[in-house]
Structure 1
């Protein structure tokens, strides 16, 4: 089959949702499908003229130097075609058997395509309430005649609430990429790690405030943060910050930490806490929907209500103080995640596509 994935932009920076698509693209290509991943310079249909001019300039630049490709952070197989297009107009998207929207703005485009672009799917990776298209248009994408695939049970529930149905296929995890290299028992109990992201829904400020509450009692607490952005202005000096670490560096950072903080207010899944857990970090997480795929309170994590700084702080403090609890959660969390694999998830996705193609 010919399969097209439609992304929301350039792949030059690490993005969790893009990584999921690239993982699927590699595996579907490996079993014989012709796979294309489309990257548009702009995705919004109503983008202001000034912004379109800026993106047009960037389109020419990236088309020349190919910086739209994720080669700096993800190895896409050479058999997968990576397209860089001005937008997602149908003339820039190849004819195929299957076409997959991967975000709300792309769903609007895919919904407008003719049958020559393929059977239409919509990979739900989050309820994108922050997207500039607004809630009314966002909710409308759930009612479009696209076959929905949800990466978490929470997103299946969201789809149902919006009047649709979604097939549940959880994200896979690569056990060869992130794994334990240092016994959790031997690590500094006061060393934590957390992702930095400016989107309020990611809860970065909540996580920092919770750590500061703990640090008032335990000044030995240390936190390493990382992200694709420059060190944020105003980030407390006691927090270490690493910009765009490589996979090897990130694996080492996870293995240096005893716990990971996942403070999201809403979350479709949570790749970072999963990676850290694979490397033996105990998890302090909020009860954001996607976290519930792997965060089971007192079994694989300590879970607190989203946006509750004090409750999150209490769980972090418990992980630092109680070696038995921390080490037990670290090991049980890592074991729990072995049930997720990209081979299994890609096999389920392939079966879904094959059934759809057969019945087309």
Structure 2
């Protein structure tokens, strides 16, 4: 198949870009003709440029620069020489054209039929306050084949938008990036978390749970990583080992320092840190956001209710007090959960979903 993926931006280190990179690479390995297309950045107005200069941030560039999870992957990709949206002139005729974000779905739906069966790879339910919520919701009612990365998203598409023909193609991880040898518990009880100030990521829940658990386990330690400076409004506990914007190849070592990884999200499309931690043999204590119920439910950690930092604290205490043998049993299940399903498996499922899209398109369902 000739398949065009339309991305809002592939020059970044966001988790969604990583997932798109790995999925397209493995689809290409299966013999498909893949092309990634994204627009140049939005051209700022003169007012926006002057505001940036006044704030000392310099002239805003419209170029896409920086590292990307596509670096090192031989997947064809282009940045078109104009700001959004992507139009017919930017993409070749193909069998399938794939939107990867709510805004790109608005572009894809307007493309000519010759550009391929229109599909929307849904990585999150993008209805956050900082987005135009009604526009984002309307995208999910567009006549195109949806593909979801978690059962939670499949259920939302069915229950909120009435679409019951949404294949599930879960994410997974690159075992060459995330791995660890078998090990025992840490000499000092240690938990870890990804630090984000964005409210729906739930870092505040994980931090409250840590402080509560520390009352019973005084030597409990915290490690964390993230891209942000720690905020005074969401301080990290004293003594936290914080790795800010660590090199990608070292993240596995952060996971590997921990007896448990905390996942406090209030909402999530998938929740990649769950699998990344598990691949590094670290059990996960998490809320039922994204794919957490399916992943943690296999026994490689503890699932706790949304917003319930007290239940998370109890799980921290439980895992910290486990015998080495008990902990290694949970660690083994976590590792198996992360490694039993591969990107080759995901690419095969995605291929079947694309064939469904082509068939439904031929039948006039879209």
Aligned to 1:348: 349
Aligned to 1:188: 187
Aligned to 2:212: 213
The C-alpha deviation readout for 1:174-222, integer Å capped at 9, x for no partner, is 2333222251x14235111111122211101111111111122222111
CA contact (8 A) 2:172 2:272 kept: no
Aligned to 1:22: 21
Aligned to 2:76: 80
**Does structure 1 residue 308 correspond to structure 2 residue 308?**
yes
| TM-aligned CA deviation for residue 90 of structure 1 | 0.6
Write 1 or 2 for the structure with the bigger share of helix.
1
Aligned to 2:330: 329
Structure 1: distance between partners of 2:47 and 2:127: 25
| TM-aligned CA deviation for residue 252 of structure 1 | 1.5
| TM-aligned CA deviation for residue 238 of structure 1 | 2.1
| TM-aligned CA deviation for residue 49 of structure 1 | 8.3
CA contact (8 A) 1:207 1:263 kept: yes
Aligned length in residues:
349
Structure 2: distance between partners of 1:49 and 1:154: 43
**Does structure 1 residue 89 correspond to structure 2 residue 90?**
no
CA contact (8 A) 2:190 2:222 kept: yes
Runs of 4+ in 1 over 6 A off after TM superposition: none
Q: Normalising by structure 1, what TM-score?
A: 0.87
Match among 81, 101, 104 for residue 103 of structure 1: 101
- Greater mean alpha carbon deviation, residues 165-174 or residues 199-208: 165-174
Structure 1: distance between partners of 2:61 and 2:182: 44
Residue 8 and residue 50 in structure 1: after superposition, are their counterparts in 2 closer, same or farther (change >3 A)?
Answer: farther
Residue 139 and residue 312 in structure 1: after superposition, are their counterparts in 2 closer, same or farther (change >3 A)?
Answer: same
CA contact (8 A) 2:178 2:280 kept: yes
CA contact (8 A) 1:266 1:288 kept: yes
Structure 2: distance between partners of 1:42 and 1:246: 25
| TM-aligned CA deviation for residue 357 of structure 1 | 4.1
CA contact (8 A) 1:178 1:279 kept: yes
Structure 1: distance between partners of 2:141 and 2:228: 35
Give the secondary structure class of the aligned counterpart of 1:60: coil
The correspondence of residues 27-176 of structure 1 with structure 2, limited to 5 A, is 27-42=26-41, 58-62=60-64, 66-67=65-66, 70=68, 73-83=69-79, 85-90=82-87, 93-97=90-94, 98-130=96-128, 132-161=130-159, 162-165=161-164, 166-176=166-176
| TM-aligned CA deviation for residue 126 of structure 1 | 1.3
- Greater mean alpha carbon deviation, residues 272-281 or residues 331-340: 331-340
Structure 1: distance between partners of 2:293 and 2:335: 15
| TM-aligned CA deviation for residue 275 of structure 1 | 0.8
Residue 89 and residue 177 in structure 1: after superposition, are their counterparts in 2 closer, same or farther (change >3 A)?
Answer: closer
CA contact (8 A) 1:267 1:291 kept: no
Residue 347 and residue 77 in structure 1: after superposition, are their counterparts in 2 closer, same or farther (change >3 A)?
Answer: same
Structure 2: distance between partners of 1:331 and 1:235: 30
Question: 5+ residue gaps in structure 1?
Answer: none
Aligned to 2:56: none
The correspondence of residues 220-299 of structure 1 with structure 2, limited to 5 A, is 220-233=219-232, 234-296=235-297, 299=299
